Amino acid sequence: MAQDRPTAAELVEAVREFLEHDVMATSTDKRVQFHARVAANALGMVERELTNGRELVAAERVRAAALLGHDDEVGLLERELAARIRGGSLDDRLDAVRDHVRATVREKLLVANPGYLPEAPSA
């Protein structure tokens, strides 16, 4: 069910910003600052997943389905892909497999910690 504003992503953003700008900036207790930073980072991940998660999962699913020749739930596709990589049945399509894995890892970092990504994706 769709909700009116504020959206879930906007609520998460507001709490994250409160932690970053109020709690972390004003607390003199190092423990509180650390836990606020951890919480703010976790909320940032949730915020990015709420904002971009469906699109990223859909892209991963399309790529995995193309490699495997059939569609399914993305988690099942990825498990099958991993098994087929281990089994060597995709060795003849290694470049396509590498491209998929690189894109998937990049997308996961876009949610988990975009700061770990280089400015432009490497080939």
Burial of residue 100 (CB within 10 Å: 0-12, 13-18, 19+) is: buried
The residue segments making up the domain with residue 104 are 8-116
User: What are 93's two structure tokens?
Assistant: 């399509």
Q: What is the pLDDT of residue 75?
A: 96
Q: pLDDT tens digits, residue range 28-45?
A: 999 999 999 999 999 999
Residue 3 included in any domain: no
pLDDT for 123 equals 55
Average of per-residue pLDDT across 52-61:
96
| 45 belongs to a structural domain | yes
Q: Is the pLDDT of residue 4 over 90?
A: no
Q: What is the pLDDT of residue 45?
A: 95
Q: Is residue 100 part of a domain?
A: yes
User: How many folded domains does the chain comprise?
Assistant: 1
pTM: 0.80
CB neighbours (10 Å) of residue 26?
9
